[in-house]
Amino acid sequence: MASFIPRKGPGGRKVWQAHIRRRGYPAQVRTFDTKAQAEAWAATIESEIARGVFVSRTEAEATTLGEALDRYLAEVTPQKRRPENEAGFVRRWKARPLAHRILATIRGKDIATYIQERRSDGVGANTIRLELALLSHLFNVARKEWGMESLTNPVELVRKPRLPSGRDRRLVGDEEARLLEAARNYGGEIAPIITWAIETAMRRGTISAMRWEHVNRQARTLQIPDPRPQKPGRPKPTPKFLPLSTRALAILDALPRQIDGRVWSMRPDSITQAFERVCKAAGIEGLTFHDLRHEAASRLFERGLNSMEVAAITGHKTLQMLKRYTHLRAEDLVGKLG
């Protein structure tokens, strides 16, 4: 049987502490404002024990979200593909009032309130979804690996923000010619980098990380570099290779060799800054460097490659992701219809 002991709580007010001890089970202790609440809780726990479905809530009811985030950052984040990005999401969660709440007390309505607050702050739907994905994974890890089997994942109980339709900006008219002319006038590496991005669909970070040792001229392939620094304990990624077109090889052949072995001297931020200046000089509006990846993926489809072949080049893991990066023009498909 459970026992109920009156205690002095904060401010000297009376609270009730419920104690449950059963052979073969860990002792359960919890404090409530009223005796009725303590009795109701004890009845639930004793019923679960009697039915053989009891799962200890002790750790889940003693760990705050902030403490769980610290453990997640130390144990789980280092194994992720982009740990630095996830560390940023952890810091954002820890700055929220919700971080002071006990894990077992966080409900779906708390997550729904968080979503509304982030929307009011002008945060984009995709950013909110990424933040929720981290929290959802934390609850799943806590439940499956940290001995908190009683936890319910509150993120799974709410509707996620709907993602906006993907950007459909492509080069139109004479924009490519104007862009490259302005890039050549700007000087440096930005002109061949733009051409390389359109030809290979590579991201700016991956482009910046390219090294000559990864180029196999005979096989016409490039080992895709990982822009992340390798850290002790992090699994080494499986090498991936990009097939190189004749135009891509010509771009590489025209480049001077650098003593440090890097193909390009420009860093990702420098590429973005130079690209923005080139677009301004060319009178082109609404175009980002990442849009060149959209352009490249669409052109691969227009050349007749199928979805799996394009994904092998662009590196997209799912066809749904690839679809968001691909914008085929009707006029370019007319010839295939006969």
Q: Let me know if 231 is a catalytic residue.
A: yes
SS3 call for 64: strand
Ramachandran area for residue 283 (φ above 0: left; ψ -120 to 50: alpha; else beta): left
* Distance (Å, whole) CA 229 – CA 3: 57
Task: Give backbone dihedrals phi and psi of 110, rounded to 5 degrees, phi first.
Answer: -65, -40
Q: Let me know if 293 is a catalytic residue.
A: yes
Beta strands in the chain (DSSP E): 3-8, 14-20, 28-32, 215-216, 221-223, 241-243
Catalytic residue among 203, 204, 294, 299: 203
Catalytic residue among 101, 220, 277, 290: 290
Cα 331 from chain centre: 35
Q: Let me know if 100 is a catalytic residue.
A: no
- The conformation of residue 241, written as its DSSP 8-state character, comes to E
Query: Quick one: 273 exposed, middle or buried, by C-beta within 10 A (0-12, 13-18, 19+)?
Result: middle
Both tokens of 321, joined, read 């992701």
Q: Let me know if 137 is a catalytic residue.
A: no
Q: Let me know if 247 is a catalytic residue.
A: no
Catalytic residue among 8, 13, 23, 231: 231
Tell me how many degrees the CA angle 191-292-309 measures, rounded to the nearest 5.
120
Catalytic residue among 57, 293, 294, 299: 293
Could you give the residue numbers annotated as active site? Answer: 203, 231, 290, 293, 316, 325
